[in-house]
């Protein structure tokens, strides 16, 4: 059963992450929001710190590289509760995203592509890619949220695969050393032929087309690529090259989402926490305080609204912790990961906008970070699967229906 207390072994990591948010991210947050596409050099020190914590063993799983699902427990083994890399990743990302989501996404070697490698790669590949920064390229202009409709092709040619297609909305695509590209081995076979490939960013067949100008998370680069006869060594296909007669290949690739959606939910939680803390402080300075011993309906409208938002935050946090807990204990968590992402993403958007409104001109101006957080919030309800996709996944699991039965 999940324990609601933070495991003692994670507390040093969370203290470090909280300090990073408050002492490093907050002071430079506005700077890199205004200087879009400028690499935050301050993050190099942060990346070295995270790497050091991971190597020392004091913060195993700090960041995306550790967010792999545990093996299914042996039924004959002594029963126990495992709090591992997924939970520590969620908790640490919650703290850093409280400082700045875009900067969290820009920490070297902590990209969503690293989480994909942790989820799907074999042991030899994990060793080979260790210590390298990986972005993840899924979305295409004609596929949107339907990952099963990917049109980028991968054709075997001797000891290589040749990739052709187009990828958009690749987070950290320009800055990363590697790009995990999703492609199909045979369009006629649908989802079962979809695989993921690790492509060197320096590969001449991977051409950067543009960097997007965005509403939020401006400190994070978002790239678009064209793959033109991009030759990738066969050993850089993640996992098994076999095309199965069932959806096993696609299911293996989709396991990435089971690991990364709780991480995105944690980002949303961090931003939500920042909005609530700042708003409560600003309102307290104006004499608006929450009395936790009194019912909400007996307090002022702003205080009652804050109480409601705190409840939504708590619900989203518990869903996210449960999704990570299940992954750490080798239990299928696809539905729970989607529940966490859906709830946390929606809560983040609603809370960020409400906090701007509650703080009036102060919330809308650039003197505080609330208006920036309101812009950053929307992406957390979109990437790694939109709100609608998450609800569809949850509905399929609850009803026991396949993707072809419930579209």
As annotated, the active-site residues are: 384
* Cβ 191 vs Cβ 247: under 8 Å: yes
Q: What is the DSSP letter of 371?
A: H
Taking the C-alpha atoms of residue 116 and residue 200, their distance in angstroms, rounded to an integer, is: 15
Compute φ and ψ for 141, nearest 5 degrees. Answer: -60, -30
Alpha carbon 324 to chain centroid distance? 12
Is residue 221 within 8 A of residue 37, CB to CB? The reply is yes
Task: Say how many residues make up the chain.
Answer: 407
The number of angstroms, rounded, from the C-alpha of 111 to the middle of its chain's C-alpha atoms is 8
CA atoms of 396 and 231, how far apart (whole Å) = 37
Residue among 141, 257, 175, 117 nearest 152 (CA): 141
C-alpha span between 12 and 31 (Å, rounded): 29
Q: What is the dihedral of CA 198, 202, 203, 205, to 10 degrees?
A: 120
| Residue 150 CB partners (closer than 8 Å, separation 6+) | 138, 140, 143, 165, 182, 183, 184, 194
User: Is 115 in contact with 184 (CB distance < 8 Å)?
Assistant: no
Distance between CA atoms of residues 393 and 114, nearest Å: 24
- The label of the residue with tokens 């001109």 reads 361
Distance CA 113, CA 188 (A): 27
Q: How far is CA 53 from CA 61, 112, 305, in A?
A: 9, 19, 39
- Per DSSP, what are the bridge partners of residue 358? none
For strand 153-157 and strand 194-200, is the pairing parallel, antiparallel, or unpaired? unpaired
Tell me the Ramachandran region of residue 298: left when phi exceeds 0, alpha when psi lies from -120 to 50, beta otherwise.
alpha
């Amino acid at each position: 059963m999940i324990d609601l207390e933070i495991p003692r072994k994670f507390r040093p990591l969370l203290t470090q992450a909280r300090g990073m948010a408050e002492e490093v991210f907050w002071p430079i947050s506005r700077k890199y929001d205004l200087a879009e596409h400028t690499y935050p050099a301050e993050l190099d020190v942060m990346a070295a710190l995270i790497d050091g914590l991971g190597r020392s063993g004091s913060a195993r799983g700090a960041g995306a590289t550790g967010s792999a699902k545990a093996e299914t427990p042996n039924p004959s083994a002594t029963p126990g509760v495992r709090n591992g890399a997924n939970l520590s990743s969620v908790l640490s990302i919650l703290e850093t995203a409280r400082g700045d989501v875009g900067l969290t996404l820009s920490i070297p070697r902590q990209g969503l592509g690293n989480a994909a490698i942790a989820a799907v790669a074999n042991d030899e590949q994990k060793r080979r890619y260790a210590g390298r920064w990986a972005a993840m390229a899924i979305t295409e202009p004609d596929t949107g949220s339907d990952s099963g409709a990917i049109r980028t092709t991968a054709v075997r040619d001797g000891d290589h695969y040749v990739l052709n297609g187009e990828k958009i909305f690749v987070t950290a695509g320009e800055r990363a050393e590697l790009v995990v590209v999703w492609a199909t081995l045979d369009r006629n076979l649908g989802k079962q032929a979809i695989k993921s490939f690790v492509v060197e960013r320096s590969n001449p067949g991977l051409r950067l087309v543009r960097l997007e100008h965005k509403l939020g998370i401006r400190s994070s680069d978002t790239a678009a690529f064209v793959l033109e006869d991009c030759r990738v060594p066969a050993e850089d296909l993640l996992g098994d090259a076999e095309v199965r007669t069932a959806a096993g290949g696609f299911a293996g690739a989709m396991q990435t989402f089971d690991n990364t959606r709780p991480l995105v939910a944690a980002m949303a939680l961090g931003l939500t926490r920042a909005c609530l803390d700042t708003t409560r402080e600003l309102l307290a300075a104006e004499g608006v305080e929450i009395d936790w011993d009194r019912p909400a309906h007996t307090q002022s409208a702003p205080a009652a609204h804050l109480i409601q938002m705190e409840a939504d935050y708590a619900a989203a946090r518990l869903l996210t912790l449960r999704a990570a807990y299940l992954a750490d204990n080798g239990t299928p968590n696809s539905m729970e990961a989607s529940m966490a992402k859906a709830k946390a993403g929606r809560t983040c958007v609603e809370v960020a906008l409400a906090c701007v409104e509650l703080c009036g001109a102060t919330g809308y101006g650039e003197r505080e970070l609330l208006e920036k957080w309101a812009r950053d919030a929307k992406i957390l309800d979109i990437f790694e699967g939109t709100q609608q996709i998450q609800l569809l996944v949850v509905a399929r699991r609850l009803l026991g229906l396949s993707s072809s039965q419930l579209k």
